[in-house]
């Protein structure tokens, strides 16, 4: 994916690389107790840097799609906005290209192979008092706990920071189930569908917050910026109402199929 991103830099390729880096980090977090500490620390740092590096250009692309679908009847604002977003994207792509070209994937590959080789049945047994299934169950409970704690406060309109934290917690629990489903050969389709739906709504709300940050770097008049902020505020209000309804109709409870 890194190689494809260097060649094309299209929206889907960059997004896929960013998601892949997050899933890799989730797997690393899950198995780090059984892996050599030195290699996991290095891998964490390298992949976290990549994830963060790709975040801003993804936000720019999503902002372009969002405003493009809603500003067709406001040509002057659209023209200035999209030109500015295009300039911001070009700047980000230069920074990302430099990073990805210099990224030492050969060294990373060696570290991953060493880490995988060290994670064997004997290693797991020596560092885990219980079975691997019991370990996964414990991790699942710990991942669900922040979701349980933050869900009530997330329904308050003004608590955007809580919804941001909840979105991250839900995403981590989702990645956990995606990994464990393959290890245990279990079907977690129902809970994964639920988590994806929650993550989708909360992700859209987080996008609107990121768009507001981007607008600070866009050269528009005050009245033009206010129109865009009003548009974002209206969309945010709609999403919050949708989210509250979703929680009421499809509450997210704890589950772990053994």
Same domain for 246 and 124?
Answer: no
Instruction: Give pLDDT, residue 118.
Output: 83
- What is the SS3 assignment for 102? helix
Q: Which residue, 106, 128, 150, sits at the end of a domain?
A: 128
Same domain flag for 3 and 84: yes
Q: What is the pLDDT of residues 91-124, one digit of tens each?
A: 999 999 999 999 999 999 998 998 888 887 777 7
Shared-domain flag, residues 149 and 116 = no
Segment among 21-30, 50-59, 64-73, 153-162 with least mean pLDDT: 64-73
Candidate from 33-47, 158-172, 203-217 with smallest mean pLDDT: 33-47
82/150 same-domain check = no
Percent of the chain with pLDDT over 70: 96
Same domain, yes or no: 70 and 96:
yes
Give the residue from 78, 107, 128 where a domain finishes.
Answer: 128
Among 51-60, 125-134, 142-151, 249-258, top mean pLDDT goes to 142-151
The count of structural domains within the chain is: 2
Pairwise pLDDT comparison (73 vs 98), residue with the higher score: 98
Q: Are 2 and 124 members of one domain?
A: yes
Quote the percentage of the chain above a pLDDT of 90.
Answer: 64
Do 96 and 196 lie in one domain? The reply is no
Task: Find out whether 21 and 54 touch, Cβ atoms under 8 Å.
Answer: yes
Show Cβ contacts of residue 11 under 8 Å, excluding neighbours closer than 6 positions. Answer: 58, 61
User: pLDDT tens digit string along 30-40?
Assistant: 988 888 777 78
* Domain containing residue 187: 129-258
The residue that leads in pLDDT, 236 or 37, is 236
For residues 78 and 151, state if they share a domain: no
Q: Which positions ≥6 away from 50 have C-beta within 8 Å? A: 17, 18, 21, 99, 100, 103
Where does a domain end: 71, 100, 128? Answer: 128
Which residue reads 């899933």 in tokens?
Answer: 23
- Average pLDDT on 149-165 reads 96
Regarding whether 57 and 147 lie in a shared domain, the answer is no
Mean pLDDT on 124-142: 83
> CA–CA separation, 192 vs 240, rounded Å?
22
Instruction: Measure the CA–CA gap between 41 and 48, rounded to whole angstroms.
Output: 11
Give me 174's structure tokens: 């989702």
Is residue 136 located within the same domain as residue 105? no
On whether both 100 and 185 belong to a single domain, the answer is no
**What is the overall mean pLDDT for the chain?**
90
Per-residue confidence (pLDDT) for residue 258, from 0 to 100: 75
Q: Distance between CA 240 and CA 159 in Å, rounded? A: 10
Pair (225, 105) in one structural domain: no
Of these ranges, 68-82, 111-125, 241-255, the one predicted with the greatest mean pLDDT is 241-255
Position 166 pLDDT exceeds 90: yes
């Amino acid at each position: 994916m890194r190689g494809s991103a260097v060649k094309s830099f299209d929206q889907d390729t960059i997004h896929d690389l960013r998601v892949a880096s997050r899933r890799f980090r989730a797997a690393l977090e899950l198995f780090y107790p059984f892996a050599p500490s030195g290699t996991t620390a290095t891998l964490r740092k390298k992949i976290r840097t990549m994830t963060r590096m790709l975040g801003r250009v993804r936000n720019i692309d999503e902002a372009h799609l969002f405003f493009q679908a809603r500003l067709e009847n406001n040509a002057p604002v659209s023209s200035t906005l999209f030109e500015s977003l295009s300039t911001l994207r070009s700047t980000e792509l230069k920074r990302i290209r430099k990073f990805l070209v210099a990224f030492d994937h050969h060294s990373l590959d060696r570290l991953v192979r060493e880490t995988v080789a060290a994670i064997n049945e004997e290693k797991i047994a020596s560092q885990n008092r219980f079975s691997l299934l019991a370990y996964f169950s414990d991790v699942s409970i710990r991942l669900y706990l922040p979701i349980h704690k933050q869900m009530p406060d997330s329904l308050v309109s003004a608590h955007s920071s809580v919804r941001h934290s909840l979105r991250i917690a839900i995403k981590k629990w989702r990645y956990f189930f995606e990994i464990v489903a393959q290890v245990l050969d279990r079907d977690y389709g129902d809970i994964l569908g639920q988590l994806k739906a929650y993550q989708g709504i909360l992700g859209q709300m987080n996008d609107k917050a990121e768009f507001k940050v981007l607008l600070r770097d866009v050269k528009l008049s005050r009245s033009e910026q206010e129109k865009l902020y009003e548009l974002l505020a209206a969309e945010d209000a709609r999403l919050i109402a949708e989210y509250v309804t979703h929680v009421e109709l499809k509450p997210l409870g704890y589950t772990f199929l053994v």
